């Protein structure tokens, strides 16, 4: 049976720029895992049945929210640019077997727990195999193990020959086929719909294919109408300006990755009559493109095609990010964890990179990775800030992240829905970290 907790003598960062950090505070968390009270330690009485955890001198802030992850891999370098016959055999004879699915699910669970121990209390998983993400989410909700809050999309929706097709995607080549695929995903219990409007870097076979338009505006619109009538958000993988335009016109709710904008695009982000909330948010993933784009191939071992596509996508995505900041477009934080060189434990790198490439400061970035992400994902009534009545999704830090974002690389304690992890443990990948340290 869960106990209540009193996190005592801490410095509180609320996740909301409008509220200044407070010192010498106590946070009470009840047995249901909700924040019961917050006040000065000298003024707040702790119920006798609560466990008091004295964290004098430490900092407490909302748990991190990663709005763009995949759980099927851990960030070690890999390539999908192999012969179709090899992929087909591996998919049908290894992955899509009882043993293969079991191994995949164990890996996904391990990656989710790694993220949690690194301070990510909420993850939006945007593309997995066989609805294993749905099963994992349901096991966490059933308290079979302590894991992060999961929002899951199941399979991508793509087109014939499109990004993720045919192994990671349901394929449709008309508005009605696209609607049917939404219904299939909904039937299988997803929380959101993920679509691929353009090609992507990982499976592009030639330079320029990564951002090439693949889905039509009519197909995008059909998907959005089908999802929106259920109150379900649509996330769109897009890696070119024209792809962003088509996705926005169709009514998507988030642009994943993104690209350079023009006046029409800026206007549609801010006021999109076809989006569920009347606007579209941007979730850039600079971390996914930067290493392959900027490091020498002798270090990354990527092909020339992957390097050049990564460079094209990263450079355009960065311009889009800088425009989003300039024009006050709602922007969250995602990493594309699972992609080569993007681990589940280093979200701080994305924040640090954004700080160096824009005029955003640590306070603003902390708000984006907590409060703003929760708003974009539609879960701000549950999590994202330290407020009475919200879930106790919290992290404890030895150093102040408002002084140095790298403080987020070393988490002292994690709490998710009132479950306290007093000694989080993250097994890091030395070879990946050493390579990333060359560009961070």
What's the pLDDT tens digit per position in 53-76? 999 999 999 999 999 999 999 999
pLDDT confidence band for 143 (50 / 70 / 90): very high
Per-residue pLDDT tens over the stretch 7-26 = 999 999 999 999 999 999 99
pLDDT reading at 248 higher than 70: yes
User: Domain spanning 5-63+384-430: which superfamily?
Assistant: Urease, subunit C, domain 1 (2.30.40.10)
- CATH second-level architecture of 64-377? Alpha-Beta Barrel (3.20)
* Residue 197 tokens, joined: 């409007």
Q: Cα torsion at 351, 357, 361, 362 (round to 10°)?
A: 20
Question: Averaged over 272-279, what is the pLDDT?
Answer: 98
pLDDT reading at 79 higher than 90: no
State the angle between helix axes of 132-141 and 98-117 in degrees (0 to 180), rounded to the nearest 10: 50
Higher pLDDT, 423 or 208: 423
Report the range of poorest mean pLDDT among 2-6, 259-263, 272-276, 314-318: 2-6
Distances (CA, A) of 428 to 254, 287, 303, 342, 395: 30, 17, 25, 12, 19
Question: Averaged over 268-285, what is the pLDDT?
Answer: 98
Question: Averaged over 107-118, what is the pLDDT?
Answer: 98
Question: Averaged over 323-343, what is the pLDDT?
Answer: 97
Task: Confirm if 253 and 275 have CB atoms less than 8 A apart.
Answer: yes
For the chain, residues classed under CATH 2.30.40.10 are 5-63+384-430
Phi, psi of 130 (to 5 degrees): 60, 20
Question: Averaged over 20-49, what is the pLDDT?
Answer: 96
Give the other-Cβ count within 10 Å of 386's Cβ: 26
- Return the pLDDT at 86: 61
Residue 84 has what DSSP assignment? H
Task: Tell me the whole-structure pTM to 2 decimals.
Answer: 0.97
Q: What whole-number percentage of the chain has pLDDT above 90?
A: 92
- Return the pLDDT at 85: 65
pLDDT confidence band for 146 (50 / 70 / 90): very high
pLDDT reading at 237 higher than 90: yes
- Return the pLDDT at 19: 94
Distance, CA of 182 to CA of 157 (rounded, Å):
8
Question: Averaged over 196-212, what is the pLDDT?
Answer: 93
pLDDT reading at 2 higher than 80: no
Question: Averaged over 250-274, what is the pLDDT?
Answer: 98
pLDDT confidence band for 29 (50 / 70 / 90): very high
Task: Confirm if 254 and 224 have CB atoms less than 8 A apart.
Answer: no
Per-residue pLDDT tens over the stretch 354-402 = 999 999 999 999 999 999 999 999 999 999 999 999 999 999 999 999 9
Distance, CA of 178 to CA of 223 (rounded, Å):
6
pLDDT confidence band for 200 (50 / 70 / 90): very high
Question: Averaged over 205-231, what is the pLDDT?
Answer: 96
For the chain, residues classed under CATH 3.20.20.140 are 64-377
pLDDT reading at 118 higher than 90: yes
- Return the pLDDT at 163: 96
Residue 195 has what DSSP assignment? E
Name the average pLDDT for the chain. Answer: 95
pLDDT confidence band for 88 (50 / 70 / 90): confident
Question: Averaged over 131-143, what is the pLDDT?
Answer: 98
Q: Cα torsion at 122, 128, 130, 133 (round to 10°)?
A: -10
pLDDT confidence band for 353 (50 / 70 / 90): very high
């Amino acid at each position: 049976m869960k106990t209540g907790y009193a996190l005592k003598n801490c410095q509180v960062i609320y996740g909301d720029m409008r509220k200044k950090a407070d010192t010498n505070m106590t946070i009470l968390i009840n047995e249901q895992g909700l924040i019961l009270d917050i006040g000065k330690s000298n003024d707040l009485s702790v119920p006798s049945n609560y466990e008091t955890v004295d964290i004098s001198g430490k900092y407490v802030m909302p748990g991190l929210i990663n709005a763009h992850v995949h759980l099927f891999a851990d960030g070690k370098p890999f390539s999908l640019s192999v012969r179709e016959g090899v992929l087909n055999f591996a998919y049908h004879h290894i992955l899509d077997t009882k043993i293969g699915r079991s191994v995949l699910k164990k890996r996904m669970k391990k990656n989710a727990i790694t993220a949690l121990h690194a301070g990510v209390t909420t993850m939006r998983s945007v593309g997995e195999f066989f609805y294993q993400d749905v099963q994992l989410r349901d096991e966490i909700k059933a308290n079979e193990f302590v894991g992060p809050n999961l929002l899951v999309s199941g399979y991508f929706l793509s087109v014939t020959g499109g990004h993720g097709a045919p192994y990671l995607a349901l394929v449709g080549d008309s508005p009605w086929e696209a609607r049917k695929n939404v219904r299939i995903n909904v039937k299988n219990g997803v929380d959101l719909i993920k679509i691929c409007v353009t090609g992507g870097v990982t499976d592009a076979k030639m330079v320029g294919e990564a951002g090439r338009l693949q889905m039509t505006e009519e197909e995008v619109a059909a998907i959005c109408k089908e999802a929106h009538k259920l109150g379900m958000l649509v996330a769109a993988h897009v890696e070119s300006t024209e792809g962003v335009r088509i996705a926005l016109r169709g009514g998507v709710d988030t642009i994943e990755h993104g690209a350079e904008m023009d006046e029409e695009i800026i206007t549609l982000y801010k006021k999109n009559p076809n989006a569920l909330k009347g606007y579209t948010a941007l979730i850039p993933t600079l971390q996914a493109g930067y290493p392959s784009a900027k490091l020498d191939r002798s270090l990354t071992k990527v092909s020339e095609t992957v390097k050049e596509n990564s460079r094209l996508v990263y450079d355009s995505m960065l311009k889009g990010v800088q425009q989003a900041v300039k024009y006050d477009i709602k922007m969250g934080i995602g990493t594309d964890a699972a992609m080569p060189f993007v681990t589940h434990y280093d979200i701080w790198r994305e924040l640090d990179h954004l700080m160096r490439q824009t005029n955003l400061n640590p306070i603003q970035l902390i708000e984006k990775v907590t409060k703003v992400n929760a708003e974009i994902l539609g879960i701000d009534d549950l999590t994202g800030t330290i407020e009475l009545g919200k879930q106790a999704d919290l992290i404890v830090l030895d150093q102040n992240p408002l002084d140095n974002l790298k403080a987020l690389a070393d988490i002292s304690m994690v709490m998710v829905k009132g479950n306290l992890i007093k000694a989080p443990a993250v097994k890091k990948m030395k070879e990946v970290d050493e390579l990333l340290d060359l560009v961070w």
